[in-house]
Structure 1
Amino acid sequence: MKEPKFVAFSTQKGGAGKTTLTVVMASYLYYVKGMKVLVVDCDYPQYSIEEMRQRDKDLVDCNPAFEKAFKENVIRTKLQPWPMLLATPDNAMEKVREIVEGGNDIDIVLFDLPGTINNRGVVNILNCMDSVIVPIAADRVILQSSLAFAMKINEWLTTGKSQVKEMYMLWNLVDAREKTELYDQYEALFAEYGLVTLKTRIPDTKKFRREGSKILPRAVFRSTVMPPDKTLIKGTRLPELADEIMNLLKL
């Protein structure tokens, strides 16, 4: 039985982009890279990815242009939308193990977790991860919160209290007007705390929030039933991030 890789974009601060990154990465790996993906939404109680999936289903039903694009994608890729598991933090790993041990061929499991580590279920999930990726932004509130989150996990790692194999910081929502030296200085500070930062930096672009419209026949980037549109990928650094993650996980 093949053992899939477990990955979580995780932080305790809302607005850092963990759910969006989970969705676009899942769709890119699944549709573009050919990975067998399972997404686990255990962001209780809002279940943001489940809500996105329902919006996408509604678009297929009510927007002829989106329905046409969806059906053409299914024919072209021979793929139905990637599978998603809805679970609470307390029972997520048990449900995932049932799926994996049931003989399902899965390369990577992406988890969307609640924004807290003050939950035993969340801690147990994090302890099972092959890689925890902590989105950070050059915003004081987000940076302080995400750094505190990462340092807590790093403390678990260095004291042997966690079985997380790897953890990385990921610059997200990068403002092109900010000087590169600013990020380099932050990364030097992270390194002093033993924190490793991914090479890829994700720019702050509205493309990552571009979903389908019930009225407009427009290309989509963030979707649970479609790949990110090719015409929108340029400048997002999504392919570079996917390649970096795949190389780290040896996929």
Structure 2
Amino acid sequence: MNTKKQPLFIAFSSQKGGVGKSTFTTLLASILHYRLGYNVAVFDADFPQHSLMKMKTRDLAMVMENQHLKKLAYKQFTTINKKAYPVIQHKAENILEAAHEFSETSTVAIDVIFFDLPGTVNTPGILKALAGINYIFTPITADRLVMESTLIFTQLLQDVIMKKGETSLKSIQLFWNQVDGRESTPLYTIYNDLIQQLGLNLMDTQIKNSTRFRKEGEENTKTVFRSTLLPADENLMKACRLDIFINEFLKIIQL
């Protein structure tokens, strides 16, 4: 009899590119694995970009070339006494079976598996994969096209998969990303009301717009934000409210 605890399956998912799916997958995976003591794995099924696989290669090169980050990484890995979390490339089809198999054969008990999935419902196996995820988090921006496609997609998941189908999905959470602190746009109020009317979940925390989301590490940088090998710098997290987001995220998934 297999008594191994099943990991939580989590995806940052959206039908629009460029809203921060891969960034949030990396940020959360690194904070949970390196700072909060959980064991994490990531499945990258975002064909053809596979941006997380590429990011891991880039991060490794950057840490090796930057003396400060190299020391930081050495100190981290000797302190936490575990390896970097694996990033596994896989097609969306049969990804759930692959994740279950990975977790069952892993020498350490995996707490969370993050999935970076393709941003289109037309990908073979994608709806089945989404139905097998426990929690879906969807970044949204105050852009009409992003909102329209996201609300249609989220309603489809909630009405078709959660209400009718066999599913592991416990909740879908929308959250505001790239919020400009200077603009008090009435758009947010309109969209918040609409989200409520549609019966969808919206997280309280709004992620502030930050250049760090788009900045890849400079050569001599002493801090990192988005990295597969190190957790985001705490000051940079506070600047965009990621610290508050993490607390709300953990409350939702009840890890």
Structure 1 unaligned residues grouped into runs of 5+: none
1:105 and 2:116 correspond: no
Q: Within 2, Cα distance between the matches of 1:157 and 1:199?
A: 25
The structural deviation recorded for 1:218 is: 3.0
Q: How many residues align?
A: 250
Residues in 2 aligned to 1:211 and 1:234: alpha-carbon distance in whole angstroms: 19
Maintained 8 Å contact 1:66/1:212: no
Aligned to 1:209: 214
Q: 1:27 to 1:230 in 2, by over 3 A?
A: same
Q: Distance in 1 between matches of 2:78 and 2:99?
A: 29
2:247 aligned with 1:240, yes or no? no
What SS class does the counterpart of residue 178 from structure 2 fall into?
Answer: strand
Kept after mapping to 2: 8 A contact 1:210/1:220: no
Instruction: Pick which of 204-213 and 163-172 moved more.
Output: 204-213
Q: Which runs of 4+ in 1 moved over 4 A?
A: none
Q: In the TM superposition, what is the alpha-carbon distance from 1:180 to its structure 2 partner?
A: 6.9
Find 1:177's aligned residue among 137, 160, 182. 182
Distance 1:45 1:72 in 2: 35
Unaligned stretches of 5+ residues in structure 2: none
Is the contact between residue 131 and residue 161 of structure 2 (CA under 8 Å) also seen in structure 1?
A: no
For residues 19-77 of structure 1, the C-alpha deviation after alignment (integer angstroms, 9 at most, x for no partner) is 10111011111122212111111101110000000001111333333322221222233
Of residues 155, 180, 186, the one that matches 1:151 is 155
- 1:76 aligns with 79
Give the TM-score normalised by structure 2.
Answer: 0.91
Amino acid at match of 2:231: P
CA contact (8 A) 1:212 1:218 kept: no
Displacement after TM superposition at 1:226 (Å): 0.6
When the two chains are superposed, the root-mean-square deviation of aligned CA atoms in Å is: 1.8
- Note if 1:37 corresponds to 2:40: yes
Match of 1:192 in 2: 197
Give the TM-score normalised by structure 1: 0.92
Range that drifts further, 66-75 or 192-201: 66-75
Judged with a 3 Å threshold, the aligned counterparts in structure 2 of structure 1 residues 18 and 9 are, in CA distance, closer, same or farther, namely same
